[in-house]
């Protein structure tokens, strides 16, 4: 019988040959774990793109972030999500739903992604995500657990409530796998994830240097978070990314020969257009930080199960997009302004993804503040998962016009 998921299995076969590169090994281990779970009938947990994987690693549950599954396929084919998006809409899913979410639903309908045994997500960053994961639970029968996040986290009672959500998640995982949490193992996993996060934060700091040693953002930490945070392979991958930056600094290598502009791209990249960032570098525009690489977290205290759970809850409030999308618009606006200041941005370019309606509202508020502070801002319509809205050529034309007429000196 023909194996399913041939596109991703084919990619897995390719990156397995590159396992001497720590980042490739981490991704190969993750994809290999997904396929082993499929082939052996082991449970798979859908972790929404703001949920990191320490608890899954500790309980030997295979995480599969559906958004990352799509991003992987888009690296091979820019139109990879279109069939699933159309299938979801043809089945009655509202066309205004985020394309990423439509693609996930379509993937399930078309059997293009392994079905989950469990589904876990927080109540941030958007209604799109919440309704989509409920739909996934309905279509697959998988039990779903929501981490209910308070709107404001400025009181101890709010943090206590949020921490209890993580206790409930552990109970949910135990109930649906028949396993009990081994807190000695969880301690090992979190101590390892602390090391990994340290390398991530060091890499992010190195990208504050001028000129930029390597075009960013620093994404390996986020990939580790979604796939294997707490495993040595994840730590090795992020450390290797950090070490690459240090090696380039030692050799006095720079991202571009002449750095004309530092662009703060404070959103996710256009996933289907892998050539956009290199093209921007060709004309002298580098990206030292983006929402994917913007991260700040304290080490987790591993002295007791209680401190670990509270630490995981606190870390869960810092994930890219999760931190900025869990309440008032000031959360995203303040972080974007902080990024401009800390990474010495010359301008901000914001992809206006049609599914992110809450964030599109923030853009208007941010533009007013940026105008007062003299920060050039470009907002342009582009779908991160569907190239049919704005082509690669249109993106380049709009960005080049903005940079050459407004930013370059």
Of 405, 321, 386, 358, which is closest to residue 99 (Cα–Cα)? 386
Span 220-246, pLDDT tens digits: 999 999 999 999 999 999 999 999 999
Q: Given CA atoms 271, 102, 392, 78 in this order, what sign does their dihedral have?
A: positive
> Which residues are CB-neighbours of 388 under 8 A, at least 6 positions away?
82
Distance CA 313, CA 316 (A): 5
* Beta-sheet strands, E only, within 230-342: 261-265, 285-290
> Which residues are CB-neighbours of 151 under 8 A, at least 6 positions away?
326, 327, 328
| 91, two tokens | 């089945």
**Residue 352 falls inside a structural domain:** no
Q: What angle do CA 254, 25, 197 make, to 5 degrees?
A: 65
Strand order in the sheet with 118-122: 62-64, 44-47, 118-122, 144-147
> Which residues are CB-neighbours of 359 under 8 A, at least 6 positions away?
267, 325, 332, 353
Percent of the chain with pLDDT over 90: 87
Specify the pLDDT at position 1: 39
Question: Do the beta carbons of residue 278 and residue 167 sit within 8 Å?
Answer: no
Residue span of the structural domain in which 149 resides: 6-179
**Residue 336 falls inside a structural domain:** no
**Residue 408 falls inside a structural domain:** no
76-80, 188-192, 277-281, 324-328: range with lowest mean pLDDT: 324-328
**Residue 339 falls inside a structural domain:** no
pLDDT surpassing 60 at residue 104: yes
Specify the pLDDT at position 155: 84
For range 121-133, the mean pLDDT: 91
Q: How many residues does the chain have?
A: 409
Percent of the chain with pLDDT over 70: 99
CA distances from 213 to 6, 239, 245, 256, 265 (A): 37, 16, 6, 8, 17
pLDDT surpassing 80 at residue 122: yes
Specify the pLDDT at position 73: 94
For range 247-275, the mean pLDDT: 95
Span 60-77, pLDDT tens digits: 999 999 999 999 999 999
Distance CA 26, CA 15 (A): 10
Distance CA 216, CA 399 (A): 18
Q: What is the DSSP string of 328-394?
A: -THHHHHHHHHHHHHTT-SEEEEEE-TT-HHHHHHHHHHHHHHHHHT--EEEEE--SS-TTSS-HHH
Question: Do the beta carbons of residue 236 and residue 192 sit within 8 Å?
Answer: no
Q: How far out from the chain centre does Cα 232 lie? A: 20
Specify the pLDDT at position 2: 56
pTM attached to this predicted model? 0.94
Span 2-11, pLDDT tens digits: 578 999 999 9
Distance CA 185, CA 181 (A): 8
- Domain total in the chain: 1
Q: Which residues of 338-377 are buried (b: 16+ CB within 10 A; e: fewer)?
A: ebbebbebbbbbbbbbbbbebbeebbeebbeebeeeebbb
**Residue 85 falls inside a structural domain:** yes
For range 192-219, the mean pLDDT: 95
> Which residues are CB-neighbours of 189 under 8 A, at least 6 positions away?
54, 57, 58, 230, 231
pLDDT surpassing 90 at residue 350: yes
**Residue 75 falls inside a structural domain:** yes
Q: Given CA atoms 369, 371, 374, 375 in this order, what sign does their dihedral have?
A: positive
> At 60, which CATH number?
3.40.50.11890
Span 305-328, pLDDT tens digits: 999 999 999 999 999 888 888 878
Distance CA 402, CA 404 (A): 6
Span 138-174, pLDDT tens digits: 999 999 999 999 988 888 899 999 999 999 999 999 9
Specify the pLDDT at position 409: 66
> Which residues are CB-neighbours of 28 under 8 A, at least 6 positions away?
12, 15, 16, 18, 19
Distance CA 64, CA 37 (A): 11
Question: Do the beta carbons of residue 347 and residue 378 sit within 8 Å?
Answer: yes
Question: Do the beta carbons of residue 100 and residue 129 sit within 8 Å?
Answer: no
Peptide bond into 20 cis (omega under 30): no
CA distances from 215 to 40, 210, 332 (A): 40, 11, 23
**Residue 391 falls inside a structural domain:** no
**Residue 203 falls inside a structural domain:** no
| Average pLDDT score, the chain | 94
């Amino acid at each position: 019988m023909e194996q399913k998921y041939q596109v991703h299995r084919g990619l897995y076969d390719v990156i397995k040959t590159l396992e001497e590169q720590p980042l490739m090994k981490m991704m190969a281990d993750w994809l290999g774990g997904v396929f082993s779970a499929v082939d052996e009938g082991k449970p798979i947990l859908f972790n929404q793109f703001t949920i990191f994987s320490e608890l899954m690693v500790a309980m030997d549950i295979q995480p599969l972030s559906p958004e990352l599954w799509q991003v992987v396929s888009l690296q091979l084919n820019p139109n990879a999500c279109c069939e699933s998006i159309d299938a979801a809409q043809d089945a009655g899913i509202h066309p205004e739903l985020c394309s990423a979410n439509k693609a996930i639903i379509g993937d399930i309908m078309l059997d293009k992604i392994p079905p989950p045994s469990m589904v876990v997500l927080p109540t941030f960053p958007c209604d799109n995500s919440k309704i989509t994961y409920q739909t996934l639970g309905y279509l697959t029968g998988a039990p779903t657990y929501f981490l209910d996040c308070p709107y404001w986290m400025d009181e101890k009672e709010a943090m206590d409530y949020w921490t209890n959500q993580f206790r409930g998640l552990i109970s949910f995982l135990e109930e649906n796998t028949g396993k009990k949490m081994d807190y000695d193992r969880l301690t090992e996993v979190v101590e390892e994830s602390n090391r990994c996060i340290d390398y991530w934060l060091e890499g992010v700091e190195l990208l504050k240097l001028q000129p930029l040693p390597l075009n960013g953002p620093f994404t390996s930490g986020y990939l580790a978070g979604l796939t294997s945070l707490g495993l040595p392979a994840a730590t090795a991958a992020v450390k290797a990314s950090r070490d690459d930056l240090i090696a380039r600094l030692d050799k006095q290598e720079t991202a571009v020969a002449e750095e004309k502009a530092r662009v703060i791209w404070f959103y996710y990249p256009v996933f289907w257009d892998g050539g956009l960032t290199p093209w921007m570098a060709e004309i002298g525009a580098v990206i030292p930080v983006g929402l994917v690489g913007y991260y700040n977290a304290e080490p987790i205290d591993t002295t007791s199960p209680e401190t670990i759970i509270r630490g995981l809850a606190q870390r869960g409030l810092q994930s890219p997009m999760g931190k900025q999308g869990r309440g008032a618009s000031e959360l995203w606006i303040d972080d974007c302004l902080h990024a401009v200041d800390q990474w010495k941005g010359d301008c901000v370019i914001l992809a206006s993804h049609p599914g992110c309606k809450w964030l599109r509202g923030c853009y208007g508020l941010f533009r007013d503040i940026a105008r007062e502070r003299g920060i050039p801002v470009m907002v342009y319509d582009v779908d991160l998962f569907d190239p049919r809205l704005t082509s690669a050529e249109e993106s380049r034309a709009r960005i080049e016009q903005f940079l050459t007429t407004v930013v370059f000196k």
